[in-house]
């Protein structure tokens, strides 16, 4: 599919960054901020996001292929995945902007918006800044004029197993040599492996591994891998530190199982952003995120979170049509 119609400017003489356009939206970066502009009802609107916040959110949107449902970069700007097409919006799910008809939502074929976002991410990410890392693990190199690029960081692919990591031909277990040292915040996590005794002939089916050790070697934050698959049920564990760079408005129910430490979830109404609740999850806690919320996690220490998704492609329509309850359990 052709994605040659990425619209970008030449690098700014002042700071070296390119500007971009997609539909009626334009994107511009300066030394501290990303600026998003749009025109609605003849009025020029703009929204400003700290460049590090914008790049961390953009990184997740790109890496997750626009994810399930809505990815709010903040309370104004974001995307909604329709799996083949993607809405990009400003203000459409902000109660106040929406009420004043100052919002704009446009829909793009996925390859075009993906190519535009990837080009912008590449151009706006400086060499010493890793948008996947916790703030403590990267630099403030996002500040200032354009300074190199960090393709190695932004082109990491999320690890998706076929059946289970470590089985023959499947995702390899994480080791130093492959660029997966144990993270500083998980240096106390035991790396003993399970004892596995396999009868001859069953090597492809009998397998076990240390999931916590695997996670302790994750080199990214807020970026789920897939470590087991039961039909459409996906276990997507991830390691979390600092703030989830987006507010996720899923198009289905999802579940969180807090495997270590603690995450506080800010939960809001997904249509308006109005506050609903704060859900404080500690090690061993499991909870659902209703299909009509948006949620942002705050992890004071790097923690292990199992995100549990139902990948059934029919779910978004069933929820949107009100054919499934937004709360997964009635009791």
Going by their DSSP bridges, the two strands 262-269 and 104-109 should be labelled as unpaired
Of the residues 103, 260, 294, 316, which one makes contact with another protein according to CB under 8 A:
260
Interface stretch with another protein, choices 66-74, 94-102, 118-126, 202-210 (CB under 8 A):
202-210
CA 283 to chain centre: 22
Instruction: Please name which of 114, 94, 112 lies closest in space to residue 104, comparing C-alpha atoms.
Output: 94
Q: Under the criterion CB under 8 A, does residue 290 sit at the interface with another protein?
A: yes
- Provide, rounded to whole angstroms, the least separation between the CB of residue 55 and another protein: 26
Q: Under the criterion CB under 8 A, does residue 190 sit at the interface with another protein?
A: yes
CA-based Rg of the chain, rounded to a whole angstrom?
Answer: 21
- As beta bridge partners, residue 298 has 243, 264
Q: Under the criterion CB under 8 A, does residue 218 sit at the interface with another protein?
A: no
Q: Pick the closer one to another protein by CB: 78 or 290.
A: 290
Of the residues 34, 86, 211, 307, which one makes contact with another protein according to CB under 8 A:
211
Q: Under the criterion CB under 8 A, does residue 279 sit at the interface with another protein?
A: yes
Q: How far apart are CA 70 and CA 293, in angstroms?
A: 10
- Provide, rounded to whole angstroms, the least separation between the CB of residue 283 and another protein: 4
Interface stretch with another protein, choices 17-25, 103-111, 115-123, 248-256 (CB under 8 A):
248-256
- x-or-dash string of contact with another protein, 149-178, rule CB under 8 A: --------------xx--x-----------
Residue 198 touches which member of another protein, Fe ion, none, C-beta under 5-8 Å by kind: another protein
Q: Under the criterion CB under 5 A, does residue 248 sit at the interface with Fe ion?
A: yes
Please give the angle made by the CA atoms of 58, 59 and 62, to the nearest 5 degrees. Answer: 85
Q: Is 5 helix (H, G, I), strand (E, B) or coil?
A: coil
Residue 248 touches which member of Fe ion, another protein, none, C-beta under 5-8 Å by kind: Fe ion
Q: How far apart are CA 194 and CA 184, in angstroms?
A: 23
The tokens for 205 are: 């089916």
Of the residues 96, 206, 317, 323, which one makes contact with another protein according to CB under 8 A:
206
Nearest residue to the partner Fe ion, using Cβ: 248
Q: What is the dihedral sign for C-alpha 160, 54, 271, 264? A: positive
Q: Pick the closer one to Fe ion by CB: 55 or 291.
A: 291
- DSSP secondary structure of 90-141: ESTT-HHHHHTT--EEEEEEHHHHHHHHHHHHHHH--TT--TTS-GGGS-ST
- Provide, rounded to whole angstroms, the least separation between the CB of residue 164 and another protein: 5
């Amino acid at each position: 599919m052709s994605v040659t119609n990425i619209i970008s400017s030449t690098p700014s003489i002042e700071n070296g960054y390119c500007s971009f356009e997609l539909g009626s939206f334009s994107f511009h970066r300066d030394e501290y901020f990303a600026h998003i502009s749009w025109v609605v009802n003849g009025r020029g609107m703009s929204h400003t996001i700290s460049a590090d916040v914008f790049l961390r959110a953009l990184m997740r949107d790109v890496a997750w292929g626009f994810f399930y449902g809505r990815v709010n970069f903040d309370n104004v700007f974001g995307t909604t995945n329709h799996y083949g097409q993607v809405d990009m919006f400003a203000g459409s799910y902000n109660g106040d902007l929406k009420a004043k008809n100052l919002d704009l939502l446009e829909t793009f074929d996925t390859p075009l918006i993906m190519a535009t976002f990837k080009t912008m991410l590449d151009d706006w990410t400086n060499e010493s800044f890793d948008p996947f890392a916790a703030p403590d693990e990267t630099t403030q190199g996002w500040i200032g004029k354009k300074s190199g690029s960090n393709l190695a960081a932004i082109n990491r692919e999320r690890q998706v197993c076929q059946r289970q990591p470590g089985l023959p031909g499947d995702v390899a277990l994480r080791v130093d040599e492959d660029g997966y040292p144990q993270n500083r915040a998980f240096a106390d996590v035991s790396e003993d492996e399970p004892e596995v005794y396999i009868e001859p002939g069953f090597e492809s089916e009998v397998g076990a591994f240390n999931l916590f050790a695997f996670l302790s070697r994750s080199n990214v934050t807020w970026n789920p891998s897939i470590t087991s698959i039961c039909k459409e049920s996906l276990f997507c564990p991830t390691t979390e530190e600092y703030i989830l760079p987006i507010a996720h408005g899923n198009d289905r129910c999802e579940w969180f199982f807090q495997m270590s430490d603690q995450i506080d979830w800010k939960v809001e109404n997904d249509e308006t952003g109005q506050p609903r609740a704060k859900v404080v999850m500690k090690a061993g806690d499991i909870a659902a995120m209703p299909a009509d919320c948006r949620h942002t996690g705050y992890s004071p220490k790097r923690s292990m979170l199992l995100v549990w998704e139902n990948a059934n492609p029919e779910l978004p329509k069933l929820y949107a049509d009100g054919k499934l309850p937004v709360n997964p359990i009635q009791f």
